[in-house]
């Protein structure tokens, strides 16, 4: 049994208010890249998780891992007769604490794997409702399709005017983790307005922003370098994703994206990069 935890990017992320429970009201446009972490599973005598890959170091393979939490949650809801013990291997190719939903994407991938093989009656919306309490981004990662997220990011709606499938994308990370909680906590509390909506989706994206960029830069100044380098490579959009530090660039042609990736690899061999297209 195989599934992919597709990399998530926030095309825009507007923070509107800090709530009394410590969370934040946001408006964000989620999109997903056609690459990510890999999950392989097989029926076993008992649940077990093994983690390998470039970013496996330091990750817990115990019951506190989101992948195993999803498995336990679905088994508790639907019974061990329907959701058997699984031996799971998670191959981490996405950097950790990087603003591209690695843990949430992996959790959603596990949910889709269980659904596909054992709970086929569940649709995306039902599955997202069940697993979203484990993390705000997990709901969007279930379908891994472009959508608008509001509330804390778990209230989702389609955005059919954003015809982005197949758009060439380049992701860049400086190999520096950024913790989401401190970045949100350092938000200055200023509501700079809602996401714009309208028929011109490219103008809509260009006029949007990521309100977490400034506090993320305070934690990871390399974000400025990445955005400067990406902007010089002439994408039509370059922005930080999520709470950082990963930045992305969207191009009109795959050849432009690949040329940009080659230039960055030469100039900054220590940076992680990934090329792909939006799903």
State the pLDDT at residue 161: 84
Residue at 100 is within a domain? yes
83 within domain boundaries: yes
Q: Which of 69, 92, 106, 137 is catalytic?
A: 137
Q: Where among 137, 158, 179 does a domain terminate?
A: 158
* pLDDT tens per residue, range 37-64: 999 999 999 999 999 999 999 999 999 9
We report the CATH number of the domain holding residue 186 as 3.30.70.890
pTM of the model: 0.95
Residue 178 CB contacts under 8 Å (≥ 6 apart), including other chains: 97, 98, 99, 216, 219, 220, 243, 244, 245
Q: Looking at 8, 92, 106, 211, which residue is catalytic? A: 8
User: Quick check: bond before 98 cis, omega within 30?
Assistant: no
What is the extent of the structural domain holding 108? 2-158
Per-residue model confidence as pLDDT tens digits over 88-140: 999 999 999 999 999 999 999 999 999 999 999 999 999 999 999 999 899 99
End residue of a domain, out of 115, 139, 158: 158
Same domain, 154 and 199: no
Query: Do 108 and 203 sit in the same domain of this protein?
Result: no
Task: Dump pLDDT digits (tens) for 190-220.
Answer: 999 999 877 788 888 999 999 999 999 999 9
Domains contained in the chain, number: 2
Residues 199 and 271 in one domain: yes
Q: How far apart are CA 221 and CA 235, in angstroms?
A: 21
In the chain, pLDDT over 90 holds for what percent of residues? 91
Whether residue 84 sits in one domain with residue 195: no
One domain, residues 89 and 181: no
What's the confidence (pLDDT) of residue 71? 98
163 domain-assigned: no
| Domain final residue, candidates 130, 158, 186 | 158
Answer yes or no: is 216 within a domain. Answer: yes
154 with 172, same domain: the answer is no
For residues 89 and 188, state if they share a domain: no
Residue 140 and residue 39 in one domain: yes
Do 219 and 106 share a domain, yes or no? Answer: no
pLDDT band at 154 (very low <50, low <70, confident <90, very high): confident
pLDDT of the residue at 163: 87
User: CATH number of the domain that 143 lies in?
Assistant: 3.30.230.10
User: Is the same domain home to 44 and 113?
Assistant: yes
Q: Same domain, yes or no, for 6 and 48?
A: yes
137 is catalytic: yes
């Amino acid at each position: 049994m195989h599934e992919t935890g597709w990399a998530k990017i926030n095309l825009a992320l507007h923070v509107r208010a800090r709530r009394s429970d410590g969370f934040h009201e946001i408006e964000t446009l989620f999109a997903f890249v056609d690459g990510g972490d890999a999950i392989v599973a097989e029926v076993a005598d008992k649940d077990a998780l093994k983690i390998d890959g470039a970013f496996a170091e330091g990750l817990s393979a115990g019951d506190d891992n989101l992948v195993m939490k999803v498995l336990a949650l679905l088994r508790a809801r639907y019974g061990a007769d329907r959701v058997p013990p699984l031996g799971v291997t998670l191959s981490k190719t996405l950097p950790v604490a990087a603003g591209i939903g690695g843990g949430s994407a992996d959790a959603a991938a596990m949910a889709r794997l269980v659904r596909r093989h054992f709970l086929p009656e569940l649709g995306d919306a039902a599955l997202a409702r069940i697993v979203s309490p484990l993390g705000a981004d997990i709901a969007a990662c279930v379908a891994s399709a472009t959508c608008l997220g509001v509330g804390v990011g778990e209230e989702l709606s389609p955005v059919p005017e954003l015809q982005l499938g197949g758009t060439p994308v380049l992701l860049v990370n400086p190999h520096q983790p950024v913790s989401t909680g401190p970045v949100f906590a350092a938000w200055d509390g200023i509501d700079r307005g809602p996401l714009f909506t309208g028929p011109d989706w490219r103008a809509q994206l260009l006029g949007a922003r990521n309100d977490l960029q400034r506090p993320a830069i305070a934690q990871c100044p390399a974000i400025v370098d990445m955005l400067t380098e990406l902007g010089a490579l002439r994408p039509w959009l370059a922005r930080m994703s999520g709470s950082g530090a990963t930045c992305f660039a969207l191009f009109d042609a795959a050849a432009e994206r690949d040329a940009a990736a080659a230039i960055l690899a030469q100039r900054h061999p220590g940076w992680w990069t990934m090329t792909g297209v939006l799903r």
